[in-house]
């Protein structure tokens, strides 16, 4: 075994299991040399172990390793200038509990009352070597679909679900909205599942009210009560990687068709036995295997309400509290005919069925009382399957989407059919490794690579949509990415001490280059807003006061000086002739699917004129 520098101190996250992280610090009087954060991956610690160097060189000579003079592990070897090397006691006060400290006597000898990690968490160098310097296990937490509770089953009719144990569903994540308010508590709004080191899968309908910059992804948690949240390690909470990191299906609509979304995290998740990804179904996986009413039953987990409710009940007040503890239950699969019939019976006056088996499936029991409920949305529907190597893996087959009420007799819960979206997921997240399994029970692990696009190409919006219906008077509401070059101009007077004061909207504009905006000259007449107070908001859809307070400041730009506002030299304030102006931004705009430039007409452009659209934030 290679000995560590005896002056190293250590903080451990997870012991020496795969995915564990050790962080080294040096004792007082020493500073680290080399990387101090090591991770257990692939059977070894990476990078190499650091060492400590003295802040002030020792007068008695260089610090040697413990083998140079056969010292104990709690001693250090010091080379004397006038004699042989000797063993000196390492700093005597290293434990919070005095009763666990090693003791250095006045005679310079060590009296080892060594505190061990198991005795109270105070780490001495002996523990560092035992716990950290050996090889870490070969098992990789990045392997999908493993749970410490793989064989646990529930029987009977569980109306409220069963409390999950720590680490039972290690891919389950909780989504919170963090308001920019000192007294505001994070608001839980949906569940999700970890499908790769920096990708989360959820339902598209979850993201109607929380801006991407306020979304927080909590991993490895079981209890979401306020008191428990305050104790969550901040390292296990993740933000999104920009405005384009929340990707909802392009065809998602108010009927909750295509209710699926992926979230790209700003950094890789720290994996452990309690935090690991779930497997995705492979393209070749047979539908009858994934969604058969027979075989291993599917499970649902979440923090949703545990009380049934019926929207058709006039006494229902609309409120049901969500669960503090993560719960799970079995939701028996139903056949397509059962699902379709339940909706036809419920909507017999119209004969319309909202059940679409090509993109959804339903599950539950006819008598009700067993269902995913409000607050479970976005969470995984999962099934345990045997792969070619004989191991059992959990495979996600669906996403909690919607239902008419919750656990109501004669109605089933509706779930997004994940097998219908493997192509869509792959278009954003590339497959990296494939389990060598049969086509019946094959699973695929997703990598963290994503398809990239050049957002600097002008005139391309984020998606192609059908023409809006003719709501002429007020126009049609835009969606994120429809008009990514549209900017909103605000005047930020910056009144000191005024929390209620918000920037005043005064005009629109268009992004025509990375740091140039085109607008109308009349917007800037009369010096109503000095150039220094102009703020250019990009990628903004809703300019209401509440959303402005939560808007990502990195998407707001200032002008690049007094000469950065350029009105046409022949602009006429009365006739509005030559009503055009350019604004040079102080920095390049961050481009994304929702922020990109529009093309400028060229003198040589010819061709048929097509119908045009106008966009603004006017009164409608």
Pull the structure tokens for residue 337: 């005919």
Neighbours of 241 (CB within 10 A): 16
With beta carbons less than 8 A apart as the criterion, state whether 265 and 199 touch: yes
User: CB-side exposure of 428: number of CA atoms within 13 Å?
Assistant: 23
66-75 long-range contacts, CB within 8 A, separation 24+ = 66/3, 66/6, 67/3, 71/6, 72/110, 72/112, 73/3, 73/6, 73/124, 73/125, 73/126, 73/129, 74/6, 74/102, 74/110, 74/112, 74/114, 74/124, 74/125, 74/126, 75/6, 75/110
Question: Is residue 205 among the annotated active site residues?
Answer: yes
Sign of CA dihedral 535, 537, 542, 548: negative
- State the Rg of the chain over Cα: 30
The burial of 436, by beta-carbon neighbours within 10 Å (0-12 exposed, 13-18 middle, 19 or more buried), is given as: exposed
- Residue 21, strand partner residues: 13, 39
Distinct helix (H) and strand (E) counts, the chain:
7, 35
Out of 5, 127, 147, 205, pick the active-site residue.
Answer: 205
What 338-346 contacts at long range (C-beta under 8 Å, 24+ apart), as own/partner pairs, is 338/362, 338/412, 339/412, 342/410, 342/411, 342/412, 345/410, 346/404, 346/410, 346/411
Position of tokens 């692939």?
A: 42
Residues in the chain: 620
- Are 322 and 375 in contact, with CB atoms under 8 Å apart? yes
Burial class (CB in 10 A: 0-12, 13-18, 19+), 233: exposed
From 377, 401, 450, 592, active-site residue: 377
> Is residue 88 among the annotated active site residues?
no
Q: Which two tokens stand for residue 318?
A: 């609309």
Single out the catalytic residue among 243, 257, 259, 441: 259
Contact (Cβ atoms closer than 8 angstroms) between residue 425 and residue 204: no
Contact yes or no for 291/417 (Cβ under 8 A): yes
Active site residue 225: no
CB 281 within 8 A of CB 439: no
Residues with Cβ within 8 Å of 545's Cβ and at least 6 positions away in sequence, in order, are: 502
Provide the annotated active-site residues: 205, 259, 377
């Amino acid at each position: 075994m290679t000995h560590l520098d005896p002056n190293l101190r250590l903080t451990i996250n997870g012991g020496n299991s795969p995915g564990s992280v050790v962080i080294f610090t040096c004792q007082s009087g020493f500073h680290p040399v080399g990387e101090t954060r090591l991770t257990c991956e692939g059977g070894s610690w990476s990078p190499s172990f650091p060492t400590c160097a003295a802040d002030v060189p020792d007068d008695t000579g260089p610090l040697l390793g413990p083998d140079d003079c056969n010292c104990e592990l709690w001693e250090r070897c010091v080379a004397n200038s006038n004699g042989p090397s000797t063993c000196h006691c390492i700093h005597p006060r290293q434990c919070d509990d005095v009763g666990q400290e090693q003791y250095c006597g006045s005679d310079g000898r060590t009296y080892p009352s060594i505190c061990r990690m198991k005795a109270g968490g105070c780490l001495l160098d002996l523990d560092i070597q035992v716990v950290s310097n050996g090889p870490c296990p070969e098992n990789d937490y990045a392997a999908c679909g493993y749970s410490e509770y793989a064989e646990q089953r529930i029987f009977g009719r569980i109306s409220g679900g069963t409390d999950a144990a720590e680490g039972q569903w290690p891919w389950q994540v909780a989504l919170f909205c963090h308001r920019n308010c000192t007294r505001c508590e994070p608001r839980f709004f949906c569940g999700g599942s970890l499908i790769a080191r920096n990708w989360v899968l959820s339902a598209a309908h979850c993201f109607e009210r929380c801006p991407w910059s306020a979304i927080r992804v909590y991993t490895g948690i079981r209890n979401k009560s306020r008191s428990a949240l305050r104790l969550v390690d901040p390292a296990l909470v993740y933000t999104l990687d920009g405005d384009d990191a929340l990707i909802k299906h392009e065809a998602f609509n108010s009927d909750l068709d295509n209710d699926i979304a992926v979230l790209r995290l700003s950094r890789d998740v720290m994996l452990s036995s309690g935090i690991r990804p779930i497997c995705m179904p492979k393209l070749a996986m047979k539908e009858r295997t994934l969604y058969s009413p027979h075989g291993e039953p599917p499970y649902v987990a979440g923090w949703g309400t545990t009380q049934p409710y019926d929207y058709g009940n006039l006494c229902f007040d609309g409120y049901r509290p969500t669960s503090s503890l993560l719960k799970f239950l079995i939701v028996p699969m139903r056949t397509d005919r059962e699902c379709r019939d339940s909706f036809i019976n419920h909507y017999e006056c119209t004969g319309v069925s909202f059940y679409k088996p090509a993109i959804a499936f339903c599950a539950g029991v006819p008598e009700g009382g067993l269902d995913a409920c409000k607050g479970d949305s976005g969470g995984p529907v999962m099934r345990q399957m045997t792969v070619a190597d004989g191991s059992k893996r959990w495979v996600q087959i669906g996403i909690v989407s919607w239902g008419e009420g919750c656990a109501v007799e004669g109605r089933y819960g509706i779930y997004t059919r994940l097998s219908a979206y493997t192509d869509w997921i792959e278009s954003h997240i590339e497959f990296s490794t494939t389990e060598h399994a049969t086509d019946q029970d094959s699973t695929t692990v997703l990598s963290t690579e994503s398809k990239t696009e050049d957002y600097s190409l002008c005139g391309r919006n984020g998606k192609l949509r059908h023409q809006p219906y003719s709501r002429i008077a007020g126009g049609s509401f835009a969606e994120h990415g429809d008009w990514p070059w549209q900017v909103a101009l605000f005047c930020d007077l910056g009144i000191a001490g005024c929390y209620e004061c918000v920037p005043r909207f005064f005009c629109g504009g268009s992004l025509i280059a990375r740091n140039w905006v085109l607008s109308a000259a009349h917007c800037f007449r009369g010096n109503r807003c000095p150039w220094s107070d102009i703020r250019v908001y990009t990628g903004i859809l809703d300019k209401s006061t509440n959303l402005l307070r939560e808007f990502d400041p990195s998407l707001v730009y200032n002008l690049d000086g007094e000469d950065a506002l350029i009105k046409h030299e022949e602009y006429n304030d009365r006739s509005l002739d030559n009503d055009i102006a350019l604004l040079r931004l102080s920095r390049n705009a961050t481009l994304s699917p929702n922020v990109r430039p529009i093309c400028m007409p060229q003198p040589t452009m010819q061709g048929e004129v097509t119908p045009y659209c106008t966009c603004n934030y006017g009164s409608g």
